[in-house]
Amino acid sequence: MLQGIERLVNLAGARESALSGAALDDVVTAVRLGDTGLLSHTDGHFAAVAREGQTVRLSRTIGIPLRYFVAKMFHGPFLVVADRIDTLYEWCREQKIGWQFDPMYTRMVPAHYLIEIDQIGCPDPAPRYHRFFEPSVGTGPADIEETGARYLSAAYAAVKSWLGTVPPGEPIALAFSGGIDSTSVLLLARQALRDMGDDPNRVRAFTLDLGGGQDAAQAEAVVSELGIRDQWEVVQVPGDRFSPDEAIRVIEDYHPLDVECAAAALCLLGAIRERYPNLRYLLDGDGGDENMKSYPLEDSDLTLSSILRNPMLYQEGWGVDAIKHSQTFSGGLSRSYVRTYAPAAKYGFTAFSPYSVRSVIAEAVALPFEDVLGGSVERLYTLKADVVRAGVKAVTGIDMPIHPKRRFQDGAGGDTYRRWKVSKSYCRQVFLRQWEERLREAWSPEAERVSGNDITVPLPAG
């Protein structure tokens, strides 16, 4: 019954962003054959799925999410793959097995792994994980100038690679707060376009102002100092459009800081779309904080020791074998990059951050943090500014303005945002309530349901 039946339903397709080192078709072949060696020699982003016999293999990088769900049919387990949870659910509803679905039974492929799942029936076997990204830890120079040059040169190369995929003449938006990461990306993009013989003014910076925040004034000061004020505009959005509930629906997650960030992103990108209906390409600096471990430890249960002894903690979470790892959501930026990806996708943008690609992460991980910090949390909080400023100077020759660090939602909303702050329990309750409403349709008495034992049901399209 199970032999010779295609039971992989790939709703996502193979995708890439600024991929280098191999063509996308070669990546798909490598995933099918389990060739982690080829995957390790690529850079940029990809997500791919392929089947070899009874084994399905899936792989992705940080910038492109990939999820799957095991649906049960008479013909055996069907592995359904998509970039969103609700896409998986809609497929199940079309097959009249929506009653089987639970969002917590879906799985996110963790970034930087090739995973293997055998389709051999019940019980479902656990996936096998194989890393393809193994950056050297702490082997780089302790000198800030040299480290900055290496880190920002890698980011410059990533920006230039991505810009090479944007059609000639197409304008490019940049989510811009005037902070370290977005300012550095603006300067790198302008430099890359200039070096490519193109117009650096193709990049236009946009700053969100929800009322009461400091980013608008900060961003204006930065572009004025750099002499590019004409390539910047502030986007004022009424504070009542900031909706954590809508953000939860869009990113399909309930981590409060990511929810708040996504809510602000939805305000910014929605307003840009209203102003510029044909603008499609978007740059941002997501991942810069993770690379330089630039988060206040006081806001979490983390210690300096925990982040130093887990070099990829902010990018990947605690690891696929850790008790804290969420199979439903993955961990670290592997999980939270959806705060950038999903709002951009909702409004028709193709988003890219150079700080999320492996070559740039590798340069960050190579920094000998323990030697540079000397046990000082205070030095950790000033490190990113020194590294990025030195790197921007080395790559572009520009002395980059440095302003205080703020989260995106805080800088856009300020005191107004602080009244919007939400807890994890609230976000989780909203997430579950939204799914309860959706699943009620599949479980209603009027809904047409198919039993997994029904042998008359035709095979779904693969």
Tell whether 81 and 171 lie within a shared domain.
no
Q: 152 and 81, same structural domain? A: no
**For residues 287 and 337, what is the distance between their CA atoms, to the nearest angstrom?**
8
Average pLDDT over residues 174-194: 97
In a domain, 212, yes or no: yes
Domain CATH for 219: 3.40.50.620
Question: Do 330 and 108 form a contact (C-beta atoms < 8 A)?
Answer: yes
pLDDT in tens, 37-77: 999 999 999 999 999 998 999 999 999 999 999 998 877 78
Which residues on neighbouring strands pair with residue 21, listed in sequence order? Answer: none
| Digit-coded pLDDT (tens) for 15-31 | 999 999 999 999 999 99
* Count of domains observed in the chain: 2
- What are the phi and psi torsion angles at 389 (to 5°)? -60, -45
Residue 1 has pLDDT above 60, yes or no: no
* Shared-domain flag, residues 21 and 111: yes
> Which residues, in sequence order, are CB contacts of 252 under 8 Å at separation 6+?
84, 85, 86, 103, 338, 342, 431
Predicted model pTM:
0.94
Please state the φ and ψ torsions of residue 63, each to the nearest 5 degrees.
-75, -10
| The two structure tokens encoding residue 41 | 């020699």
The pLDDT tens digits of the residues spanning 297-331 come to 988 889 999 999 999 999 999 999 999 899 999 99
Can you tell me the distance from the alpha carbon of 98 to that of 116, in angstroms, rounded to the nearest whole number? 25
Higher model confidence: residue 8 or residue 124? 8
Residues 64/47, Cβ–Cβ less than 8 Å: yes
What are the tokens at 287? 């991942």
Residue reference for tokens 């194989």 = 130
One domain for residues 196 and 303:
yes
Instruction: Give which of 453, 457, 289 is closest to 381, Cα–Cα.
Output: 289
- Residue-level pLDDT at 4: 44
Best-predicted range by mean pLDDT among 61-75, 149-163, 315-329, 395-409? 149-163
Q: Do 59 and 204 lie in a common domain? A: no
Query: Is residue 361 pLDDT above 50, yes or no?
Result: yes
Segment 5-24 mean pLDDT:
92
Average model confidence (pLDDT) for the chain?
Answer: 93
Domain boundary among 86, 112, 133: 133
Q: Which domain holds residue 374?
A: 144-427
Place 180 in a pLDDT band, splitting at 50, 70 and 90.
very high
In a domain, 447, yes or no: no
189 and 58 in a common domain: no
Residue 413 and residue 399: Cα distance in Å, rounded? Answer: 28
Hey, which of 111-125, 223-237, 409-423 has the most confident mean pLDDT? Answer: 223-237
Residues 63 and 187 in one domain: no
Q: Which residues contact 218 (CB under 8 A, 6 or more apart)?
A: 177, 178, 179, 403, 411
Q: Which of 106, 133, 160 is the last residue of a domain?
A: 133
Do 321 and 345 fall within a single domain? Answer: yes
State what percent of residues in the chain have pLDDT above 90: 84
Q: Is 307 within the bounds of a domain?
A: yes
Domain boundary, last residue among 105, 133, 161: 133
In a domain, 432, yes or no: no
The whole-number average pLDDT for the span 261-279 is 97
Largest CA distance in the chain: 70
**Tokens standing for residue 455:** 């042998």
Cα torsion at 378, 379, 383, 384 (round to 10°)?
A: -20
Using the predicted structure, report yes or no on whether residue 100 has a pLDDT greater than 70.
yes
